[in-house]
Amino acid sequence: MRKVVIWFRRDLRLDDNPALNLAISLQAQILPIYIHSPEEEAPWFPGGASRWWLHHSLRKLEQELSGRGLALHYFLGNARDILPSLVCSENIDAVIANRLYEPHLARRDEELFGRLSAEGVQTNLFDSSLLFRPGSILNKQGKPYRVFTPFWRSARQHLEASTPPAVPAMPTGNLQAIRQDTAGSGSLEDLGLLDNNPWHEKLHSHWEVGERAAQHKLENFLNTGIGEYKSRREFPALKGSSRLSPHLHFGEITPGQIYRSLEPLLHLRNVAERSSIECLLSELGWREFAYQVLWNYPQTSRQSMNPRFHDDFWKDDTEALHAWQHGTTGIDLVDAGMRELWETGWMHNRVRMVTASFLTKNLGLHWLHGARWFWDTLVDADLASNSLGWQWVAGCGVDAAPYYRIFNPLRQAKKFDSSGIYVDRWIAERPCSPGLVDLETSRRDALERYKHAANIRDGAPG
């Protein structure tokens, strides 16, 4: 009987999983594996909050596979070394996986699968974590979109014309498994995903991890939250968002599953509800756009898209950065957001923009400082979305907010948290200490710095 490896990555689910479905359809012995390879993900290997989620998501997947007679095998090290060795030692006939779209990981996979294929091993890579493969949505000149609105207008038409097909449901009953004592494999604990300091234990009170939790959350949101999504999503004190982002990142649910759940409702709901559905779809669109940008401009995870905002543009203030990170700036809405992040591993999107604007414009600090902090503390940390979001707010990326758009935390709080419920929830001590900077003075300073940078052309005044 043939032997097949199903290599799980960020597709930690059984349903709507084309790689797993093919492995089953081959009627072979199946070896499910997960390889933790932080060196190959450098410099953006998973942060602390992401590793917490990953650990528990893998445990859930392990349990689901066990119910079908399969054991999930864990490996720690470089996939470039581990996978060929495993193929050789176990006489594997096929290796199947779902694609990763971060450029450095995609290059690794291309090289690795090319080597295996050259040695006579069947290799298959599937698209499952995006609605559109990066590079497939181009403008009329055949170039990547650099602005979201025309990108999504084009992508939405493609989506309307071709609904992503559902992958056949996984069959019930036990499957043929390769023996459980596979050489070189260890336990989930051997991966060392959880920090020794149990700071992450508090996350259990805010999240339920795994494929079943993701499906339940989507179902509950469609039944109780989608109709008012557009009107409630901007207010951080309300439960207005879907909170599906970490489930999407780890592949516990797919954007195709979400779209197939939403699309029929567009024909059944009233105008206001349809508007809410389109609003949620556009949030999926931003995720798609982020991956298109990262794919076409891979340097944007490490440096400003606009070269005018080179490293020397930003200030250096360790104390200010520490105050921002720990929610002690004295600016209520900023501090509330940063404390929500530290406590829950998540932050409301409106507050993410406010805190990012404060860091990059009022404090003048490099957006990479913020991107790295979010990367380590967000359970939904995603390289494409994180990079795009920070550069958008900082005004140095594609489709960037204009340099003169500086979120005023006081006005934002008055508009979106007028009763102070959100701030009161996360800040116990009142009144707060004096603000780290004067908002109006730091705004004027930011405008001058950005205007000066905008007038520079090749190192000389324009």
The residue from 40, 283, 296, 343 that is catalytic is: 283
Answer yes or no: 197 catalytic: no
Classify 340 as helix, strand or coil: helix
What does 358-417 look like in DSSP terms, one character per residue?
IIIIIS-B-HHHHHHHHHHH-TT--HHHHHHHHHHHHT-STTPPPTT----HHHHHHHH-
The residue from 152, 286, 295, 373 that is catalytic is: 286
Cβ 213 vs Cβ 242: under 8 Å: no
Please name every residue paired with 8 in a beta bridge, in sequence order, or none if there are none: 34
Separation of alpha carbons 346 and 338, rounded Å: 9
- Residue 440 has phi, psi (to 5 degrees) of -70, -40
Answer yes or no: 199 catalytic: no
The pair of structure tokens assigned to 101 is 């779209």
The residue from 44, 314, 324, 373 that is catalytic is: 314
Answer yes or no: 314 catalytic: yes
Classify 433 as helix, strand or coil: coil
Cβ 61 vs Cβ 202: under 8 Å: no
Q: How many CA atoms within 13 Å lie on the side-chain side of 79? A: 24
The pair of structure tokens assigned to 436 is 């780290």
Cβ 365 vs Cβ 314: under 8 Å: yes
Answer yes or no: 228 catalytic: no
The pair of structure tokens assigned to 402 is 């204009």
Separation of alpha carbons 125 and 128, rounded Å: 10
The residue from 52, 53, 367, 373 that is catalytic is: 367
What does each C-alpha distance from 335 to 329, 355, 411 come to in angstroms? Answer: 6, 8, 15
Torsion of CA 228, 354, 259, 35, to 10 degrees: -140
Cα of first residue to Cα of last residue in the chain, in angstroms, is: 70
Answer yes or no: 390 catalytic: yes
Residues in the chain: 462
Answer yes or no: 367 catalytic: yes
Who's near 430: CB < 8 A, 6+ residues apart? 424
The residue from 152, 390, 392, 426 that is catalytic is: 390
Q: How many CA atoms within 13 Å lie on the side-chain side of 187? A: 2
The residue from 78, 234, 296, 349 that is catalytic is: 349
Nearest to residue 370, comparing CAs of 384, 357, 385?
A: 357
Nearest to residue 170, comparing CAs of 35, 57, 3, 11?
A: 11
DSSP-assigned letter for residue 315: B
Cβ 288 vs Cβ 281: under 8 Å: no
Just list the catalytic residues.
Answer: 283, 286, 314, 349, 367, 390
